[in-house]
């Protein structure tokens, strides 16, 4: 009989559906829908807001074109006919129709700073924020990079500098980079990560109080709890609540006015899930990384950070993982419910999206939330939808890639 703590055991793997590791490799059995993590997300979205939880105000004079001629969306995305930017409109419509059975609520395709296709379903308007689960992790990574650029931290710092509870413990040598790369060695099991953690009143403290399972750098594990400790790191280093830092420094400058990170009942920012946003706002986030961290004439995120986060694998265990982003690099691939811990099978070798270039990358989350960035074609594809319990019904990065591999006829 499946334990209640395993209610989300297969959900995240289905959501990401990495091409070369569809069985997860971690021995998890099929489970009921992810009630624990989805109910926690719903609660986070509906709890009374504090002043720091207000939606951001867009920076004035949102750029529409940089000095070098690069196009940006301005206050609203410019929409053009697909043909104007090389897409076959009929093929795009067919691919979009295929996304509906997976309970998609919005889908957007942008190329070279302009929207060529946008669909909204289920009575949900384009400006209505929705939960995007682990897409939040890629936002969290970006905040770490910005804090480093400010001189508030260094990713090679030992995390104990900001998490005093780890001083004098087996976690004393864990670095921020270890956490971002998912090789921290911090305690992990499915029931804790997808059951106990989302249901904890104080998720940050719960995550900090877990123990050390392996030496840092030795084992790759997709570890929600380890990532949640970055809330303490960011808040301590910057002197701001993590979600306030995100609103002021990232969402506001990009004009992501329908986006906010959420809080747990104790007031900590959820950094492994919990972001509420829209397809149009996430397309801005993806476009920021497509343009190497520039927004108009401003370098919002250092170019060096973008390269570190999405330009190369962050460790030798999992070619498909950067710094809290999923990559399309060829090599051993470990899915989100798998690990290369001792006694586990060798990870399969392959590529997550075989039809796209190796430098494509994604932010992904439970339920098939996808931000796909393809630098070669200068295309961003975003999909948000509801959780699907059945893997065969889940939306994946490869579904998003079809807009590029099948509908882009004039690259």
To which H or E segment does residue 105 belong?
strand 104-111
Instruction: Give the CB-side neighbour count of residue 1, counting CA atoms within 13 A.
Output: 2
pLDDT of residue 41: 62
Q: Average pLDDT per run of 10 along the chain, which is 411 residues long?
A: 37 39 32 55 54 71 91 96 98 97 96 98 95 98 98 98 98 98 97 96 98 98 98 98 98 97 98 98 98 98 98 98 98 95 95 97 96 98 88 88 97 85
Beta strands 298-299 and 294-295, pairing class: antiparallel
Q: Which of 302, 261, 4, 53 is nearest to 154 (CA)?
A: 302
pLDDT at position 36 is 63
User: 178, 218 in Cβ contact below 8 A?
Assistant: no
Q: Which residues contact 236 (CB under 8 A, 6 or more apart)?
A: 162, 163
**Pairing mode, strands 349-350 and 361-365:** unpaired
State the Cα angle at 362 between 274 and 235, rounded to 5°.
40
Q: Pick the closest to residue 227 from 278, 266, 280, 174 (CA basis).
A: 174
Furthest C-alpha separation in the chain: 62
- CATH code, residues 4-48+56-137+259-405: 3.40.710.10
pTM, two decimal places = 0.91
């Amino acid at each position: 009989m499946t334990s209640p703590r395993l209610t989300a055991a297969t959900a995240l793997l289905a959501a990401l559906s990495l091409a070369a590791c569809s069985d997860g490799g971690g021995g998890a059995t099929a489970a009921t829908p992810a009630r624990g993590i989805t109910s926690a997300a719903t609660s986070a979205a509906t709890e009374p807001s504090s002043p720091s939880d207000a939606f951001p105000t867009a920076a004035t004079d949102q750029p529409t074109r940089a000095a070098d001629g690069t196009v940006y969306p301005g206050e609203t995305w410019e929409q053009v006919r697909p043909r104007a930017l090389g897409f076959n409109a009929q093929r795009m419509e067919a691919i979009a129709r295929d996304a509906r059975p997976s309970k998609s609520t919005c889908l957007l395709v942008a190329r070279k700073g302009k929207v060529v296709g946008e669909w909204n379903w289920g009575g949900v308007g384009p400006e209505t924020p929705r939960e995007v689960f682990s897409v939040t992790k890629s936002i969290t990574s970006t905040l770490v990079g910005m804090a480093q650029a400010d001189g508030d931290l260094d990713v090679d710092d030992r995390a104990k500098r900001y998490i005093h509870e780890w001083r004098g413990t087996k976690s004393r040598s864990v670095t921020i980079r270890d956490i971002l790369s998912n090789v921290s060695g911090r305690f992990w099991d499915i029931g804790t990560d997808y059951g106990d953690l989302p249901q904890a009143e104080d998720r940050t403290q719960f995550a900090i109080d877990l123990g050390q399972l392996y030496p840092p750098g030795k084992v790759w594990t997709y570890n929600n709890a380890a990532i949640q400790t970055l809330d303490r790191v960011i808040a301590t280093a910057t002197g701001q609540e993590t979600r306030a830092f995100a609103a002021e420094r990232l969402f506001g400058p990009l004009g992501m006015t329908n986006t906010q990170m959420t809080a747990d009942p104790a007031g900590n920012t959820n950094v492994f899930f919990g972001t509420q946003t829209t397809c149009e706002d996430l397309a801005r986030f993806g476009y920021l990384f497509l343009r190497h961290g520039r927004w108009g004439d401003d370098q919002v995120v250092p170019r060096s950070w973008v390269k570190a986060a999405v330009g190369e694998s962050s460790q030798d265990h999992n070619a498909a993982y950067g710094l809290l982003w999923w990559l399309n690099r060829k090599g051993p691939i470990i899915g989100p419910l798998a690990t290369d811990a001792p006694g586990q099978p060798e990870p399969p070798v392959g590529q997550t999206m075989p039809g796209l270039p190796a430098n494509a990358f994604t932010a992904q989350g439970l339920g098939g939330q996808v931000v796909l960035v393809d630098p070669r074609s200068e295309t961003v594809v975003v999909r948000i939808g509801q959780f699907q319990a059945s893997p065969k019904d889940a939306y994946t990065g490869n579904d998003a890639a079809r807009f590029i591999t099948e509908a882009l006829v004039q690259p």
